[in-house]
Amino acid sequence: MTRGRGIPDERLVEVSHHYMAMGGRSPINEQNRAIIAALEARLAERGHADLPVYWGNRNWEPYTTDAVRTIHEDGHTAVLGLVTSAYSSYSSCRQYREDFGKALVENDLLGSLAIDKVRVYFDHPGFLDPVVDGVRAAIDELAAEGHAPERVRVLFSTHSIPLAMTVASGPVETRRPGSGGWYVDQHLAACRYVMGALGHETAPDAASGEADAAAGRPAWELAYQSRSGAPHIPWLEPDINDVIESLAADGACDAVVVVPIGFVTDHVEVVWDLDTEAKESAAEHGLAFRRVATAGSDPRFIDALVDLIEERLDPDAPRRGESGFGGTPDVCGRGCCASGSPHARIAPTTSALDSAEDIAAAADAAS
């Protein structure tokens, strides 16, 4: 699961303890099965009963390469990949396209099977509206316990990634020195959508929001979690636990609502890093704590996934994206979401303008 990722040994030991605390396995497979079952049912209800759903994992059984082999053996020639990651970056988009390319090479299916990928869906209301409801409910619960909304801080949280990967997220032509790339920009757009739905006035480029006592609105900001890289490599900050400590020291709030905006399901990095570590940080500093659920198998999110599939089946199907970020492409641009590492090996991809060249190069290398 960690081959070639440069993760320090002490971090690997730490994470192994997290899994052992949860019975030695991650909850993600069970959650993926729930999403698949709900998706199959909703596809049938919306007229796509003949569209089969296959399941492949990058890091554990069933592996993507095995799923691709089965798809081919079942007689299919075209695949639409739907990944459980909503944002643009190497680890959350391009690496999946590399997985697809690798699966084609390993199964000797270059030219026999085409694999596309749905667009990123961070701004689809079906992904975000369940989060809106969760934040609203958490604020209401805290208010019932005596915590005024203006004394609550909404902490959106997502996976930290290396700064070089951040800057390289998105198409080459959008990159600019010092920017957070599409990865950060898309997360902030999602945060603004959620807070806007709760009545918080936000500027189109706001990176945080202040509390409004008169309107009874909490402040909000974006934090990061689950860093796993070598200590000398800069990653996105601040860490959510550091933010909680700082808020308590400054007396900025009495309670925190933690929102895993960067995640689709309540997997180990949500259950441990937030429900355990962040919750403990809040308790140690005297802050009340609520954690909002991810979209998971919420019917609105499942409908969003069907929407994304229908977009590729029918060019005239409506495209929903309501965060103000702007449209994102079905087919990624050349060099889109590179790893950012100068030592990275160029791997074949699918579903991009340069994928045909990548696949051809891979075929030549394999011959």
Angle, helices 95-106/64-73, rounded to nearest 10 degrees: 50
Dihedral sign, Cα of residue 12, residue 18, residue 21, residue 24: negative
Q: Residue with structure tokens 């909503």?
A: 86
pLDDT at 174: 81
Backbone angles phi, psi at 287, to 5 degrees: -105, 135
As a CATH number, domain 9-121+301-366 is 3.40.50.1400
For residue 313, give both structure tokens: 């089946």
Nearest-angstrom CA–CA distance, 278 and 283: 9
Cβ 336 vs Cβ 172: under 8 Å: yes
Q: Residue with structure tokens 């599409």?
A: 182
Bridge-partner residues for 259, per DSSP?
156
pLDDT at 41: 99
- Report the DSSP pairing between strands 152-159 and 219-225: parallel
> What is the reported pTM?
0.91
pLDDT at 2: 46
Nearest-angstrom CA–CA distance, 121 and 312: 13
> 215 to each of 62, 85, 104, 195, 255, how far by Cα in Å?
50, 34, 55, 13, 18
Nearest-angstrom CA–CA distance, 129 and 295: 8
Nearest-angstrom CA–CA distance, 361 and 161: 29
206 by DSSP, 3-state: which? coil
171 by DSSP, 3-state: which? coil
pLDDT at 23: 57
pLDDT at 359: 73
pLDDT at 16: 46
CB-based contacts of 265, cutoff 8 Å, min separation 6: 27, 28, 31, 32, 35, 84, 294, 295, 296
Nearest-angstrom CA–CA distance, 277 and 241: 8
125-291 has CATH 3.40.50.1400 classification: yes
| Burial per residue of 319-335, b for 16 or more beta-carbon CB atoms within 10 angstroms, e otherwise | ebbebebeebeeebeeb
Nearest-angstrom CA–CA distance, 158 and 91: 13
CA 158 from centre of chain: 8
Question: Taking the CA atoms of the chain, what radius of gyration do you get in angstroms?
Answer: 21
DSSP labels, 127-185:
HHHHHHHHHHHHHHHHHHTT--GGGEEEEEEEE--BHHHHHT-S-GGG--TT--HHHHH
Closest CA to 159 of 294, 26, 58, 59: 294
CA 304 from centre of chain: 15
For residue 21, give both structure tokens: 């605390």
Cβ 267 vs Cβ 28: under 8 Å: yes
Mean pLDDT by 10 residues, the chain (367 residues): 48 48 71 98 98 94 96 98 97 95 94 94 98 99 98 98 94 79 96 96 91 92 93 95 98 98 96 97 99 98 98 93 85 88 80 80 68
Cβ 6 vs Cβ 91: under 8 Å: no
Cβ 318 vs Cβ 72: under 8 Å: no
pLDDT at 140: 98
CATH 3.40.50.1400-classified regions of the chain: 9-121+301-366, 125-291
Closest CA to 249 of 274, 279, 286: 286
